[in-house]
Chains A and B, each alone.
Chain A
Amino acid sequence: MSTIALVGNPNCGKTTIFNALTGTNQHVGNWPGVTVEKKEGKCRFENELYQVIDLPGTYSLGAYSEDEVVARDFILKGNPDVVINVVDATNIERNLYLTVQLLEMGVKVVIALNMMDEAEDKGIKIDTKALSQKLQVPIISTVASKNKGIDALIKQAIDVIKSEEAKSKKIPYGHEIDKEIEKLKHLLNQSNLNVEYPTDWIALKLLENDNYVVETIKKASADIIENVKRSIDNLTNSLGIDPEIAIVDKRYEFIERTIKNSIKKPDSQVQTTSDKIDNILTHKWFGLPIFALIMFVIYQLTFLIGEDIFGEMVAGGIETLGESLSAVLEGLNAPEMLIAFVADGIIGGIGAVLEFVPLIMTMYIFLGILEDSGYMARAAYVMDRIMRALGLHGKTFISMLIGTGCNVPGIMSTRTLESRKDRMVAILINPFMSCGAKLPIYLVFISAFFPKHGGTVLFFIYATSFIVALLMGKILSKTLFKGETSYFIMELPPYRMPTIKGVLIHMWDKVGAFLKRAGTIIFTVVTMLWILSVLPYGVEPHSEASILGRIGSFIAPIFKPAGFGTWQASVGLFAGIVAKEAVVATLGMVYAGVEEGAKLIAAVQQVFTPLTAVSYMLMTLLYTPCAAVIGTIKRETNSLKWALFTVVYTFAVAWICAVTVYQIGGLLGFS
């Protein structure tokens, strides 16, 4: 099967083209860096299957951050049969820099000139035929968001796969550099290295100090590297600047000459609608309050629509389902054990989690609207001042926002941070961000104790998570990860009207994963915990005497100072380390038998107080992340040590916060 790779600058529409080609629904966000991993899909054309790879956006093959390394490595080592270079037509000069680098490599390239409609609106005229001739590469105009030009693109890509090998493009680098390239090329040819790239390209990359190429050649012949050093010294002397920088300059000169007669742009740039919106949303005084207000309104609406309106309906439905299921099983003379398992384990446990699906859906619809509109990048922008004051990088805030969905993609998104210091801090504070799976926990306690102020409590929970994460970030960057915060540079994508389809895809991404987990991991956990709660045989089910009860009783004393030292509460937290949804599922199960017909919320009202509810919510908000997140931290930091560190330090922070709130609250007379 032939492989087609999609390459391009960040936010130029690669993933939209990927979706159009493969018919899949990958999440497309309106900010740079949504894709930090390569994604694979299949595309069928004239009865043949092709593998399509969507790569993270990159400006060049220089690979400065982890996500760019993923893209560069695939182009270099993955041997794609053709590369579709997605070029943003409204920004053609910048985008062509990467194109030139691809052409120099000698890979087969097709250009998808995307967002042609926006370019036309802006009065940019592109003579694609002339440009294609100059670059000697096929160009297809596309409007991926409206599915225009996709068939022509795939057809062209396949034609190129079938054509003979591409010749690498020669760009004149000036007499001095060209001479050194020639010299090195000669040397490379002589030494008969077994490399699959054209030797003049390798020579150029050696002069450019490309770390991947330098390392590869170093392994084969240290002698050549010595020669490269001499060439670089010679050139630095004769050019007066580093050859690396001179090469970049020459590429831009080449691009300028190339597009001279094929692109016409209006002389004066008018203030765009996006600029006008930004005058308000990123205003120097109002920017931050507006951000806080937007989040506040979102949580209020989430609670109103998701819980008060739809949540009740689903809860009622699940109850009815549970009753009729039990009735059916009783009618079938099913074993008592099975009936108990279905009633307490499945309906009581998993049902308790599913009740919150409408709320989670509503919240992600709102967050999806924010993401797709392009506001998220502005949120990072307005927060940069605060982040900087705390010694954190502005982009850390984006990884925190993504973490409110799930910490796994939140941690992955830190790949866009270039310095190790910034990235480590961003990874280690991400678990404090409250993920979607923790929502049901708050909702149980809010419904039990603060039903009138649901949205407000929710807003404060999220505000707390941000504050704790930011403070810990400051502490970490002052202690374990000292050093300068690296520079801040980030594109602000144009505002776009979110599409219903895009928002629904985004929502389903999250909710689908939630449901899937409820059916798999949560189901397994609940089943195992249920078994533990009825063993040893003969013990009263779900009681302190069961194995589960004993585990809980063993942990419980730790939480006494925080006010919730019961075995049930402890077991809930314990289960939450496997997956956060399991907290409510477990509570639902162990409290299902508390009183005949009592639901979880009623049970919680009996055993918790408003104060212990707050301290329990704080604990679940901040404590040790789930297994999937711990695994992600180990993978992304490449170290078990940091994964274990996170397990311990998040628990300590959560415990201290919960105890402080409970003790001080008690002194102030709350209960």
Chain B
Amino acid sequence: MNVQPLIFFSKGTKGTIYDFNGGKMLSKRIFEMGLNKGQEIEIIKNDVGPLVIGLQSSRIAIGRGMAYKIMFNPN
């Protein structure tokens, strides 16, 4: 497995969320928003500013600090 923080992957990468390295409150928050463990996502944009990820048909902007804490398992 090649699990690494989400921020290291480039546009177009598909994979699943492996875990979230953050406090309990924040973890629960983002899991409850739909970014839960095992969720399939696609990186839509990762250049400067927040990342944009695709989750089903939604597009979610995620700050870079946060993207550092999301552990991502590319396909």
Residue A97 interfacial (CB < 8 Å): yes
Report if A269-B42 is in contact (Cβ < 8 Å); known contacts: A248-B36, A252-B36, A384-B63.
Answer: yes
Do residues B58 and A491 form an inter-chain contact, with CB atoms below 8 A? yes
A494→B48 CA distance, assembly (Å): 21
Report if A274-B28 is in contact (Cβ < 8 Å); known contacts: A59-B34, A97-B34, A248-B36.
Answer: no
Contact with B along A267-296 (1 / 0, CB 8 A): 001001011001000101001000000000
Do residues B38 and A252 form an inter-chain contact, with CB atoms below 8 A? yes
If over half of B's interface residues share one DSSP class (helix, strand or loop), that class is named, otherwise mixed; here it is mixed
Contact with B along A477-520 (1 / 0, CB 8 A): 00000000001111110100000000000000000000000000
Which residue on chain B has the smallest CB distance to residue A378?
B61
Which residue on chain A has the smallest CB distance to residue B52?
A492
A window 30-76: CB within 8 A of B: 59-60, 62, 64
A243→B19 CA distance, assembly (Å): 15
Do residues A91 and B52 form an inter-chain contact, with CB atoms below 8 A? no
Name the one of B26, B32, B50, B54 contacting A248, with C-beta atoms under 8 angstroms: B32
Do residues A490 and B34 form an inter-chain contact, with CB atoms below 8 A? no
Residue A242 interfacial (CB < 8 Å): yes
Do residues A489 and B37 form an inter-chain contact, with CB atoms below 8 A? no
Do residues B65 and A487 form an inter-chain contact, with CB atoms below 8 A? yes
When distances are taken between beta carbons in the complex, the residues of chain B under 8 Å from A93 are: 34, 56
- B14 to chain A: closest CB distance in Å? 9
Residue B57 interfacial (CB < 8 Å): yes
By size class, the interface of chain A is: 35 or more
Do residues A382 and B36 form an inter-chain contact, with CB atoms below 8 A? no
Do residues B27 and A381 form an inter-chain contact, with CB atoms below 8 A? no
Residue B3 interfacial (CB < 8 Å): no
- A61 to chain B: closest CB distance in Å? 9
Name the one of B26, B37, B56, B61 contacting A381, with C-beta atoms under 8 angstroms: B61
Residue A394 interfacial (CB < 8 Å): yes
Do residues B32 and A90 form an inter-chain contact, with CB atoms below 8 A? no
A101→B43 CA distance, assembly (Å): 29
Residue A218 interfacial (CB < 8 Å): no
Name the one of A252, A272, A382 contacting B49, with C-beta atoms under 8 angstroms: A382
Do residues B24 and A272 form an inter-chain contact, with CB atoms below 8 A? no
- A248 to chain B: closest CB distance in Å? 5
Report if A91-B57 is in contact (Cβ < 8 Å); known contacts: A245-B28, A488-B63, A489-B63.
Answer: yes
- A257 to chain B: closest CB distance in Å? 13
A window 379-393: CB within 8 A of B: 381-382, 384-385, 388
- B42 to chain A: closest CB distance in Å? 7
Name the one of B33, B36, B39, B48 contacting A489, with C-beta atoms under 8 angstroms: B33
Contact with A along B4-43 (1 / 0, CB 8 A): 0000000000000000000011111111111011110010
Name the one of B34, B54, B59, B63 contacting A487, with C-beta atoms under 8 angstroms: B63
When distances are taken between beta carbons in the complex, the residues of chain A under 8 Å from B39 are: 252
When distances are taken between beta carbons in the complex, the residues of chain B under 8 Å from A269 are: 42, 54, 57
When distances are taken between beta carbons in the complex, the residues of chain B under 8 Å from A60 are: 32-33
Which residue on chain B has the smallest CB distance to residue A93?
B56
Contact with B along A315-349 (1 / 0, CB 8 A): 00000000000000000000000000000000000
When distances are taken between beta carbons in the complex, the residues of chain B under 8 Å from A388 are: 63
- B39 to chain A: closest CB distance in Å? 8
A388→B48 CA distance, assembly (Å): 12
Do residues B45 and A278 form an inter-chain contact, with CB atoms below 8 A? yes
A242→B31 CA distance, assembly (Å): 13
Do residues A381 and B34 form an inter-chain contact, with CB atoms below 8 A? no
Closest 6 CB pairs of A and B: A488-B63, A94-B34, A60-B32, A90-B57, A492-B59, A487-B66
The residues of B with any CB-CB pair to A shorter than 8 Å are: 24-34, 36-39, 42, 44-45, 47-50, 52, 54-63, 65-66
Offer 17 A-B interface pairs, CB within 8 angstroms, sorted by A.
Answer: A91-B57, A93-B34, A93-B56, A94-B56, A248-B32, A252-B31, A269-B42, A272-B57, A274-B59, A275-B44, A278-B44, A278-B45, A381-B61, A385-B49, A489-B33, A489-B63, A492-B61
